[in-house]
Every structure is written in structure tokens, then in C-alpha cells.
Structure 1
Amino acid sequence: MRNKFFLFLLISCCLGASCTNTKTQENSESIQDSNVFVDQSNPSANLNDDRRFVSDIVTAFIKAYNERDNEKINSYIHPEAGIMFIHRPGAMDWFEKVSKIDFERPVPSYYPYANADHTYQIEYEVAPKYDCASEKWNKMGLFVDLTTATNLLNPIAANLNEFDDVQLDTDYRKQIQLAEKDSYRVVLTTPTPLIFHVKQFGDRWYVTILDRGYADCGA
């Protein structure tokens, strides 16, 4: 009888250990699955995904720009959102929305599109700044700023309203917000700089702003 009792006790211990190991393994697998989920929701991982697609639109847009290819470059402009041009006709910045780019009719008309050939690699950093006093950039290259929120058009609209009494209707203000919300700034520091913004609509990327006023220190 005593032998049977010890045999029963031994089997019970083995079963208990087996259950404990199984639960430990399940908990471990659950933690691993949780870690995978956290990694996928990591903002830096999302930025890495954006880099792949942003590099494509940036490279393609600059290529079409240098080749002066109207048809190709306009395929990178959203058919409904259009593209906002920023320029500086005087002391203040101005902007206007157009539906397409025409290399024979630059916006503004007095500022032809200059070649932007370069040999830079894309750098994902805060966009460079231009100092009009020294007439120099604080760094040279082709930069995509994935971290700085775009806020260009609304301040310009506010200045136009305050100093030039330019009133924008509600629909136009919505178009302004659409152009710059969640967009990324691209700066190419060629002798005549090329500065634009890219944004995702659905599963495609488009250029929503062409900034031809920044680094213009003539006014």
C-alpha cells in the first residue's frame, strides 16, 4: 500500500511540473507576442516605413523637375488637392493654389524654374536653415524632415489678413490645412534651392507645397 502511495505521489508531482512548464511557456510566448505588437506600433518603425515611400516620391519629383517634364511632374500632384505655391513678390510671403505645373509658365511669372542637379544622398534630418546675412545654409545637402510639423500657410494667411486685408473664405482655409497637415518638408540646397512638401493620400504620395519664397532675401 505504501509503495502505491509513493507511486501516486510521484506521478502527481510529474504532472504538476509538466503543467507549470506549459504555463511558463505559454506566458513566455504571450510576452513575445506582446513585444512584437509593441514593436509594430513603435513610431520609429512607422518613420522607417515612411522613409521608403518618401524617398521614391522625392527622387521622382526632382528628376521630373530637372527634366522639365510637365506630364510626369503633374502625376505627382493630387488631382483635387492641387499644389500650393509660396513666393515673395515683396516684403511678405504670398501663396496661391494651382492645379498643375507648367515649366513654360512659372509661378510667379518672373521666377523661372532653375535646374536642381545634385549628387547628394537623402538625409532624414531637421530641415536646414538659410541665413540671409551670411547668404549660407547651416548645412548642405538633400534633406527630408520627418519630425517638424508644417506650419507655413496659416501664418502667411494671417499676415495677409492683418496687413493687406486679404480675407480667405472657409473653403480656401480648408485647402490650406489639407496641403500642409501631416506633410514633410524637403530641402535641396542647390544654388537655386528646391523646396517642397510631400504628403500621403491613401496609398500614394504627392507634392502639396512648392516653397519658392524661402531663402529669397531680395525683398
Structure 2
Amino acid sequence: MFMKKILLILLTSIIFSGCDSLHGQNKEIKQIVKKVVEIYNQKDSEKFNQLINPETGLVLITTIGANNSWEKFQKVCLNKKCLEKGTMESAGIPYQSFLEKYKIGNLDLNKIEFTEQSFFECEKIKKEGIFVASENKFHTLSESVSFFIKHFSDIVGEKLDPKKKIELEKEGEKFKKIELKSRRVTVNSVGGTFVFYITNIQGKWYLTIIDFASTDCSV
């Protein structure tokens, strides 16, 4: 009887410890998500770029034709001033325009829901709000690389060079490692849908991916 009580106490302690840990992590996630959204709305390029890890950079997933494309940036510009000064790169058409003009409106940034559902399909929003998925649930970036390798000849019109294939495979593996510790964040508002990923790198959360491709149904 005594041993049963001890085991019950230990089990209860473990359960509550796990709950506290999860609650603490969710609190951190809410803080970084809120920070990303607020700075993005302010169009403060300098502060926004401080959210990017120097080693991973920020990868933008875009669309070219029927397949996804990707490009890594160390800095992005959220207003025309930094482009005019030449201090930052353009994300290209039409994505640069989206970065400059899109604003997240009418949402309570303190209400963030943890769910695997994104509540949007193409450009159609089923439910407004901010939705954070679990770690390692979405792999749009690495899957885009795999698709590109597999269908390279059809997409590019020529045979994939072995060296190029190795480079792409290595890049895909790097992206998989990022996705492993990443959470996809979907923001649905009157302005449209904004999808980005946050990644825990050495105990700190960073903005690592902006996914334009998932919201593009023009192809």
C-alpha cells in the first residue's frame, strides 16, 4: 500500500512537471509569434531581420510555374526605403510587394491557438486567427527540394548534373533539420493569409521560413 502511494505521487509529479514544461514552451512560442506579427505590421525591416538566425538565414518558399522554388536571404526589406538605399535585397515579384503591403489586421495577438489545422485553402479563409502547429508537422520546404530533384528534367528541360544533385540533396537535408525543430504558424486575417515558420535553435526561437507557396493557387 505504501509503495502504491509513492508510485502515485511520483506519477502525479511527472505529469505536472510535463504540463509545466509544455506551458512554459507554449508561452515562449506565443511571445515570438506575437513579436514576428507586430514587427511585420510595423514594417520595421531592421527589427524584423534581427529575428533571423545568421546561419540559417530566412528562406522564402515561392512558386515558379507548377513547382515551388526557394531562396535564402540574410535580410529582407519590408518597405521601399531600404530598397531605394540599396541596403537590402528585393524578394522579387510579386513577393516583395506582398512584404511591403500586407498587414495583419483585426486579430487579437494574445489569442493564439495550438492546432495542426491551418483553416485556409488556397486564398479561401475558413477561420480567422493565429494557429501554431506542433514541431516537425509540415515539410513544405524539404518536399519542394525533393520534388525539384525528382522532376528536374521536366522542369528545367535538361538532365540533372550529378554534382548539382548532390548539392540539392545536401540542401534538402539541411532543410529537414530545420523543419524538425520548427513550428508552422498560419495567420488568417482580413488582409489574407500569412504563413511562416519559427525554429528553436540552441534554445532560442528564430524566424526561419516564410511560405508564400502554400497560399498561391494561381497555377
CA shift, 1:160, in A, is: 1.1
> Structure 2, unaligned stretches of length 5 or more?
84-88, 154-159
1:213 paired with 2:203, answer no
**Matched residue, 2:177:** 178
CA shift, 1:168, in A, is: 5.5
Structure 1's 59 and 49: CA in aligned 2 closer, same or farther, altered over 3 A?
A: same
**Matched residue, 1:58:** 33
* Distance (whole Å) between structure 2 residues aligned to residue 124 and residue 106 of structure 1: 33
SS for the counterpart of 2:75 is coil
RMSD: 2.5
CA shift, 1:195, in A, is: 0.7
**Matched residue, 1:102:** 77
**Matched residue, 2:116:** 126
> Structure 1, unaligned stretches of length 5 or more?
1-22
Q: How many corresponding residue pairs?
A: 192
Contact kept in structure 1, 2:131 and 2:187, CA below 8 Å: yes
CA shift, 1:92, in A, is: 1.4
* Distance (whole Å) between structure 2 residues aligned to residue 74 and residue 217 of structure 1: 28
**Matched residue, 2:23:** 48
Superposition pairs for residues 1-219 of structure 1, below 5 Å?
24=2, 28-29=5-6, 31-40=8-17, 42=18, 45-103=20-78, 104=83, 105-111=89-95, 112=97, 113=99, 114-120=102-108, 121-132=111-122, 135-146=123-134, 149-165=137-153, 167=165, 169=167, 170-190=169-189, 191-219=191-219
* Distance (whole Å) between structure 2 residues aligned to residue 33 and residue 130 of structure 1: 43
* Distance (whole Å) between structure 1 residues aligned to residue 33 and residue 207 of structure 2: 9
**Matched residue, 1:14:** none
Give the structure with the higher percent strand: 2
Contact kept in structure 2, 1:78 and 1:207, CA below 8 Å: yes
TM-score (norm: length of structure 2): 0.76
Offset from partner CA, 1:129-183 (integer Å, 9 cap, x none): 4334xx5223221111126612112221122112234635154233212321121
1:35 corresponds to which letter in structure 2?
T
Quick check: 196-205 or 140-149, which moved more? 140-149
